[in-house]
Each structure stands twice: as structure tokens, then as C-alpha cells.
Amino acid sequence: MTDTSGDGRELGRRPTLVIVDDSDEVRSIVRAVLESSGLFEVVGEGADGAEAIAHAYRLQPDLLLLDTSMPTMDGLEALPAILTLSPQTRVVIYTGFEERGLADRAREYGAADFIEKSIPIRDLPDRLWRVVGGTEPAPSSPPSRSALRVVGDADQHAPHVAAEQQVLDEHLERFREVFEQAAIGMATLTLNGSVVRANNALAAMMDCDAVELVGVDYGVLMRGHGDLLDDGLASVVELGRDLVSFEHPLPVGSDPGTVRVTLAPVRDSKAQPLYVFAQVEDISAQRRAEDELRRSEERFRLLVTAVRDYAIFMLDPSGHVMSWNAGARRIKQYTARDIIGQHFRVFYPPEDQAALHPEHNLEVALREGSYAEEGWRVRRDGTRFWASVVITAVHDATGRHIGFTKVTRDQTEQQQATEQRAHLLAVTAHELRSPAAAIDGAASLLAEGWDRLDDARRTRLLGAISASAHRLHRLATDLSTAARLQSDTLALEREDVSLARLLSSAVERAQAADPSVDVDVAADDVTFSGDPARLGQAIDNLLDNAVRHGRTPVAVSGTATDGRVRISVHDAGGGVTDELARRLFERFAAGSDGGTGLGLYLVREIARRHGGEASYEDPATFVIDLPS
């Protein structure tokens, strides 16, 4: 038949289609569903943008289903070349990113449609048919039994699916809140560095709207330092590193600032990177302060005796201390009488002294004019602190070398904050991976073998999905609350709270997540003023801590006496060491053996926002004390 339809496709011929996605599993499932529908002829597959271009040129397909985040070349990069080499091909972006800006950018580049991978897979053939067939309904061609095993007989189990989807949707919404409200810049990048999502803090640094960053290669924002991004992505994608950091100047302003970028991959259940999360922190103030100190010897002379935030002093050409300021005394704990005349190597740890690191620093400063580094230094009492150090060679008017100026700043808190952020990124990625893998595995077993599973096995698998989704929901809640505490935007919504109902609800949630949990609950029948959602979150964290790190049975009690409400959670375990007990409620203190280290910190902060306090009592008892 030679007649053609309105879109140029020959009548009686199935549209040809190419699938491009870096996931073998995704390509296999999509191909099975599309071929089983009887609507399309799949003529090729590819794993990245370069293969998509080659297939478009060689096969000239009617449709090309194109992923966004892929190695070598991502989908948005390849899209213009595909349409140039095969103008009649209709390209449909098929992506896991749900971002309005990304969809708009894809259509600007010529995409015929933008489909999110979150849609039911069985709806995909009809959605693609509308792309090539206009508004005509798809011919009736039900999927084969093998395809049904892929998409699942989900209708009869819709209540379970809907409930789990609601939990996952809430988790996604809370993650978006954390992302958008963060005070530092954040972006999600494809494996090749294209921005698919950016928050307002990053847009403010770049002097634009967040939507304008979508689809932009982050490397073009780095003012000629794009090779740093390429090296960082290669370390993450090819070498498997979990964290990579680098710095670059901002692309705006005649005197641009500097930002530090930290890259962390988000991986699938097989540890393969899906995309890259970027944290962008403006460090301009720190860099400009150090540059100003190096530039201005006169300002140094004026401030040297009064400045308390910096240790500023002079060394003779061989490294002996010649002068001492108030900041040096505060930071290093030596008086001028104690230290003047001693060699400055006493400020370095023994291992650095043995390696002649102090002498090396002076050699470099003399040769290069100055030397800067960050590292551990030692106070007079033997304690260590993280120092930012600048050593500058000083010459007189004739050019004769007369000594060195040394500027030291205590950066311990900043270093700890950086380590905590890196720790949170790494631990959160780990905490997300386990429940995500559990959901993926259980869902696959249900989808592929529902008819072969007995009711008990199905119930266990659905329970595993529910428990993992509950864990994701709690993680997102804790991250959102921590972000609000950090930005001081956490507000309480007070109302009358039934103590008995508050505790029984928390126990019900714990047992819904894990029916095997053995919890006894006893509470006085009293009512007090508080935020039930935040208090419930605190009790959930204490129960989770008892189940994960203690031993059952767990007992929860609530009593009211003398105008106070006391809530305690006790487990049968041996408790914690005295050293850990002193810092249990500090942020990240309890995260070394699993978890983010935020749970107990949030318990304490929620209690304090209510005018109360959280504490630990030996053995293995956590207490929240509140005013009633």
C-alpha cells in the first residue's frame, strides 16, 4: 500500500522505533512492552547519545525514545544532531527527572513529547502511538501474557499500589522541600554535566532564574575551568569515587567570587551511577580575606597587635618567632614571653616536624613569594586545631630577605562543618540505597512472579515494600526538619495533645513498619499543649533507635506529675558507653554504626522547642521531659 497517513507514515506499516537508554534493564522492559503491544517495530537500541545519533542517521526511524542522563553524551546534547540527520524522526524524551524546566528545554530543542518514567509502563505504547498517529485511537492489540508479567496484574491490587505510591510521593515532596529551601546551591546533573534541576540558592549565585539553568552544561558556568568538572565527573562515573570537590570562579561580575563544588553520585541498586548531585558553596569571603592579607603589608602592620581572629606574627629568615599578637596568644595559647625566640616548628604535629614540613614551607614561601595551606596545628596544651595558614617572604627596600610574616586562622569549626556535610551526603546516599534496593527487588518479584507466589510470600514482599517506604519517609522527614532547624524556620503548631494517643500512635507506626517489633506502652490519661506531629517524629526516632541499636522488648511510658510530662523509651539492651552517652544528642554523633546521626539530635531540638529537654539514663533509657 502506498497511501500515507497525515503524518507521512505509510498506511499498513507499523512505525519503526529506536530505544536509547544506558540501562539494559530499562531497554529490555520497554522493548518487551512495545513489541507485545503490536503497534511498533523496534529496529534498534543504544546506550548513549552518540549511539542515538548513529541509529537516527542509519535507520531513519519514525520514533526515537531517548533518555537524558547517559555516559559519553546525554540525551539533550544529542537531540539537535538527531533531528538534523533524520528530520522526519520524532524524538520522545523518556526520563526519570520530573522537572518542568527540563521538559520546556527538551521541547525547545525539538522533542515531540516528554514522558516521565514514573508513568505506568503499560500506558507507554498508547502514549507513543499518539505521537505518531495524532488523535486516532491505537488499534486494539492487547499485550501478550509475557508483557503482562512485566507490567503486572496491578488493577486487583490497586489499594496496595496506591498506598505505597502515596508514601513515595510524600518522600519526594519532602526531598524537594529540602532541596529548594537549602541555603547553599544545589543541582542535579546528568552524567555528562548538564543541569536538570537547580535550586534558588544556586540560581542567585549565577544571577539568573533556576529554570534558566536547566539544560545548561555546568562547565560553561565555570569561566574557563570546565576541565575540573570533566575530571570530577570522570572520577565519579569511571573511577567510582563517592565524593569529589573542586573550586571555580563565579561567571558573573567584574570581580567574580569563588565557589567550592562537591559532587556525589546517586546510584541504582547495582551501584551504577544514575546522575550526580552537586553542592555549590560560595567561599568568596574567605578567599578575598586571605588575598587582602597577602596584598597589604601596611594593613598587616596596623592590625597585627589588635586582631584576635588571626594569629599574625613575624619569623626571622631561619624560622624563629620575632613578634606575637593577641590573636596568636588566643589561638596558640603562648604568651609573647614564652614563644619569642623559639622556632615555629613547635606549632606543628610531631610527624610534620619529623618530615621537616615547617622548613619546607619556608623554602617554598621564599622561592614563590608566599605559601598557603590548611592542616593540623598544635596548641601549647597539646590539643590540635585545623588551621588556614599563609606564610609570606618579607624583603627590605634593597631586596634583601629579612624574614617571613605568618598568618594563621583557626578553621576547626569550618572543617568540621565541611566534614559533616560530606558525611551527610555519603550516609544519606547509603541510607537511601538499602530501602530503594529492597523496594526494587520486592516489586520485581511481585511483578514477574505474582501467580507463582502464595499469599504468605506476597504479604511478606508487600510488607518489605511498606517498611522500606516507611524508612524513606522517615529519612526525608528528618532531613527536612534538620534543614528547617539549620535555617531557623522550624515552627510549632501547638494544640491539645493526648499523651496516651500520642504514644499509642507512635507504637502503631513502628509495628506497621515491622510487625515483629515487641513494644509495651503505658501512659497516663492526660492532655497537654504541644505540636503532635513534631512530638510524634521525636518518639518515632527513639523507637527506631531502640529497635535498630537496642534489644527487644521495648517499653514506652508517659507520666504527668508536678506540671511536667515525662516520656521514656527503654529497651533490653546494654546501653551505650559513658563516652558516647555524653554526646549522644549532638548532630552526627551517633551515626557511625548506621543511620544519618540526625535522629537523636532532632529529638533533643524538638524537645527544646517545646521548652523541655531530652536525656539518656542508664541503662538504655531515653527520656523527653516537657512542660504540661
- The partner residues of 320 in beta bridges, in order of sequence, read 343
Phi, psi of 249 (to 5 degrees): -75, 150
* Cell 562537591, residue located: 262
- Residue ranges for the chain with pLDDT beneath 70: 1-12, 97-100, 134-178, 253-255, 269, 289-307, 420-434, 588-596
* pLDDT tens-digit map of 187-234: 888 888 888 888 888 988 888 888 888 888 899 888 888 899 999 999
Grid coordinates representing 59 are 535507520
Grid coordinates representing 421 are 556535610
492-510 as b/e: b if 16+ CB within 10 A: eeeeebbbeebbbebbebb
Q: Return the amino acid letter for 69.
A: S
Q: For residue 91, which of 101, 77, 72, 73 has the smallest C-alpha distance?
A: 77
Task: Decide yes or no: CATH 3.30.565.10 for domain 491-627.
Answer: yes
Total residue length of the chain: 628
Residue 86 has a pLDDT of: 93
Residue 147 has a pLDDT of: 40
Grid coordinates representing 371 are 605559601
**What's 11's DSSP letter?**
T
Sequence spans of domains, the chain = 16-151, 157-178+418-489, 182-282, 290-410, 491-627
Antiparallel, parallel or unpaired: β 370-378 and 195-198: unpaired
Q: For residue 192, which of 211, 213, 212, 219 has the smallest C-alpha distance?
A: 219
Residue 559 has a pLDDT of: 96
Residue 297 has a pLDDT of: 58
* pLDDT tens-digit map of 264-294: 888 876 778 888 889 999 888 777 766 665 6
232/241 Cα distance (integer angstroms): 9
Residue 288 has a pLDDT of: 74
SS3 state at 267: strand
* Cell 548531585, residue located: 277
For helices 75-85 and 100-108, the axis angle rounded to 10 degrees is: 20
Q: Which CATH architecture has domain 290-410?
A: 2-Layer Sandwich (3.30)
Same fold, 16-151 and 182-282: no
Residue 178 has a pLDDT of: 59
CATH number of 182-282: 3.30.450.20
Side-by-side strand order, sheet with 384-395: 310-315, 401-410, 384-395, 370-378
Residue 491 has a pLDDT of: 87
What is 157-178+418-489's CATH topology?
Answer: Helix Hairpins (1.10.287)
* pTM as predicted: 0.39
Domain 16-151, CATH among 3.40.50.300, 3.30.1370.10, 3.40.50.2300, 3.30.428.10: 3.40.50.2300
Residue 305 has a pLDDT of: 57
SS3 state at 372: strand
Q: For residue 528, which of 567, 490, 569 has the smallest C-alpha distance?
A: 567
